[in-house]
Amino acid sequence: MTQLQSEIIPSAIQLLENHAQLRQNAVAGGLESPELAALMLEQYGRALRDLAKALLGTMPKGLSNDDLDRIVATINPEHEATTIARYNSYATLDLSRPHRPG
């Protein structure tokens, strides 16, 4: 492992873990649904992975699709089913009906 790899990969993983904690807190506080929080985390993780891959020229260990799926599932255990449903429907952002569970 090069010095660049030894610096970038752990930093990217730490950023992903920090973002996951923020999303978990938002779900626990009723600010985001697990589905939305998981989607945002997934997109953030993919961006981190793609950036690390571009800088390193190789897939960074710890940021594979399986790794991202595992951490996203901590927020939404039904992430795989949610993703399938998302791709089978029209996506929109409707903030006209605010709702907080509880």
pLDDT tens sequence across 7-66: 888 999 999 999 999 999 999 999 999 999 999 999 999 999 999 999 888 888 889 999
Query: What integer pLDDT is reported at residue 89 of this predicted model?
Result: 82
Q: What's the structural domain count of the chain?
A: 1
Query: What integer pLDDT is reported at residue 88 of this predicted model?
Result: 84
Q: Quick check: is 77 in a domain? A: yes
HEC profile for 19-88?
A: HHHHHHHHHHCCCCCHHHHHHHHHHHHHHHHHHHHHHHCCCCCCCCHHHHHHHHHCCCCCHHHHHHHHHC
Helix (H, G, I), strand (E, B) or coil at 5: helix
Higher pLDDT, 11 or 94: 11
Query: What integer pLDDT is reported at residue 2 of this predicted model?
Result: 81
Q: Quick check: is 8 in a domain? A: yes
Q: Quick check: is 98 in a domain? A: no
Q: Residue 40: how many CB atoms within 10 A of its CB? A: 17
